[in-house]
Structure 1
Amino acid sequence: MILPGDVESVTSQYLQLIDKALPDHVVGLYLTGSVPLGDFRPGRSDIDGVVVLAEPLKDVEAVREVHARLPAKPSFDVTYLTAAELASPPDPRQPVAFSLDGIFKQDPSGGPVGPVLWSEMARQSLAVRRTPGLVVHDDHQALVDFTRANLTSYWQPTYDQLEAAVADRPDDAVMPDWALPWVVLGVPRLHALLATGNIVSKTAAGEHALVAFPDWTGLISRCLSHRAGEPITFTTTDAKTAVSFGRKVIADALAL
């Protein structure tokens, strides 16, 4: 697979910098998310992935400096893990180093560690630097259980918050252009996983939703057009429609 230009540039720069800062320490770089799924959108998408370490990270400040030298956009968002950690079930209690929105961070209790990242790595990651003999633990039932929990712990409150935020706004008030595509294309990804067993991109999730939820074709299609780069204006009316759509998707997904 030929990498998009921005992705090729950032990953090459990262590997040059990290190899100089920590020689022989990074034994693998795998991309997850939109790039291997063929849904990377220049100017909109982040570069997601996993850095495989020869041993647990010790020189944290050297890695922080490497991330600080990378371009701000697209964000280079990776999780630092050893091959042994990837071969075992994810432990959300373990300390982890990662970058989010391009900023290097440390979390004493898991951060991005979870079944989704492990399954992405096992099923559809793209190797920029391949780790010899790498085996990644992939527990589909754990992925399903995590997805169901995420529907109720994250997405239901998100739609509640959206409903409250627009309750008193004029129907024709303009929404931030990123907000509606995020909520409208985000939750069908979880529905698609539970319905098909596959982790899909946001674009594929929207296409899945067009078939599964035809009553919302207009809003879904406009969100897909926005993701494809077209200038689309969303209003409070669209947000209220998105709330009813999201709640329907969640209820249907939990019934699968």
Structure 2
Amino acid sequence: METDVRRYLVDLVTVARSVLGDNLVGAYAAGSVGLDAYQPGRSDIDVALVCADPLPEDDKRALVAGLRHEALPCPARGLELVVYRCSVAASGTPEPGFEVELNSGGRMPFRATYAPQDRPLADGHFWYALDRSILHQCGHALLGAPAREVFADIPPADLRRLLVDALTWWLALPTPPGDEPAAGAEDAVLGACRSLVRFRHGRWLAKTAAGRRVLADGDDAAPVIERAIAARDGGTPPTGPQARAFQRSVLAEITPPA
């Protein structure tokens, strides 16, 4: 873990404790930090906080005020923070179930959501349970018990449905036209690889590692995956149509038979 990221996470927990007091019982690094794949200049910092009791509205707003980039500068592209109650973290529910959500950073649009029903359906409700599944496997405890003891995994049928929902959501986004390399196409390809590895092998891997695991499986889309991996280090990304074609092939494999 980068020194500036480590220091930031310590400061984040300090601010959270000052706002939530004894109600804060856990703090966990997720995403690329949890998966030991943080890439300076590209990765976000993903954090899940766990509280014992529901958060009063004043505490939600005070937490957002104390942790937004303007108050606590994030050394990465941005912070993606979600707060859950203990009961939700331990439930294995496929529902969002969060208390408050904050996205904030120097290169990330600000967003604060204070209840799951305020999250637009078009923005996706599948992220949260998938993130809790990742936390169950590899969350890094900053405060509290080990993540595996706090976050339950979600049942296989729910997991499969959420992976389908996620891929369907990605495919509904506008596809960059033509045969020119498309910014972000590498993330679309490698994100689909991560879903495929979780489905095939039961493990969450970082995006690049997932791409390599799918290559080891002998996938027919090897040239597109190899191009996506190279783009993570500055190479030329796939085109939009190439990325979408690969995502559609992954969706077809993961979707349950009718």
Q: Which amino acid aligns with 2:67?
A: H
Q: Would the aligned equivalents of 1:37 and 1:201 in 2 still touch at CA under 8 Å?
A: yes
Corresponding residue number in structure 1 for 2:122: none
Distance 1:218 1:127, change over 3 A: same
Q: Which amino acid aligns with 2:99?
A: V
Equivalenced residue count is 239
Q: Which amino acid aligns with 1:198?
A: R
Deviation at 1:93, TM superposition (A): 6.7
Q: Distance in 1 between matches of 2:154 and 2:96?
A: 18
Q: Would the aligned equivalents of 1:96 and 1:110 in 2 still touch at CA under 8 Å?
A: no
Q: Which amino acid aligns with 1:56?
A: P
Alignment of 1:163-202 (within 5 A): 165-166=176-177, 169=178, 171=179, 173=180, 175-176=182-183, 179-202=184-207
Gaps of 5+ in 1: none
Corresponding residue number in structure 2 for 1:252: 253
- Residue 239 (1) aligns with residue 240 (2): yes
Q: Would the aligned equivalents of 1:193 and 1:199 in 2 still touch at CA under 8 Å?
A: yes
Q: Aligned match of 2:12 in 14, 18, 23?
A: 14
Corresponding residue number in structure 1 for 2:135: 121
Alignment of 1:58-207 (within 5 A): 58=56, 59-68=59-68, 69-74=71-76, 75-90=78-93, 92=95, 94=97, 96-102=99-105, 103=110, 104-109=112-117, 114-131=128-145, 134-141=149-156, 142-151=158-167, 153-158=168-173, 161-162=174-175, 165-166=176-177, 169=178, 171=179, 173=180, 175-176=182-183, 179-207=184-212
Q: CA RMSD in A?
A: 2.8
Q: Would the aligned equivalents of 2:34 and 2:139 in 1 still touch at CA under 8 Å?
A: yes
Distance 1:190 1:65, change over 3 A: same
Q: Which amino acid aligns with 1:92?
A: E
The C-alpha deviation readout for 1:23-64, integer Å capped at 9, x for no partner, is 333221111121121211111111112101132222222112
Deviation at 1:91, TM superposition (A): 6.2
Corresponding residue number in structure 1 for 2:36: 38
Percent of pairs identical after alignment?
A: 25
Deviation at 1:95, TM superposition (A): 5.8
Deviation at 1:206, TM superposition (A): 0.9
Distance 1:93 1:36, change over 3 A: closer
Q: Distance in 2 between matches of 1:88 and 1:136?
A: 8
Gaps of 5+ in 2: 120-124
Q: Which amino acid aligns with 2:132?
A: W
Q: Give the greater-gyration-radius structure (CA).
A: 1
Q: Which amino acid aligns with 1:175?
A: A
Corresponding residue number in structure 1 for 2:54: 56
**Match of 1:100, SS?**
strand
Q: Distance in 2 between matches of 1:202 and 1:222?
A: 13
Q: Aligned match of 2:223 in 218, 224, 231?
A: 218
**Match of 1:231, SS?**
coil
Distance 1:38 1:157, change over 3 A: same
Q: Distance in 1 between matches of 2:15 and 2:89?
A: 24
Distance 1:255 1:54, change over 3 A: closer
Corresponding residue number in structure 1 for 2:214: 209
Deviation at 1:197, TM superposition (A): 1.3
Distance 1:243 1:175, change over 3 A: same
Q: Which amino acid aligns with 1:246?
A: Q
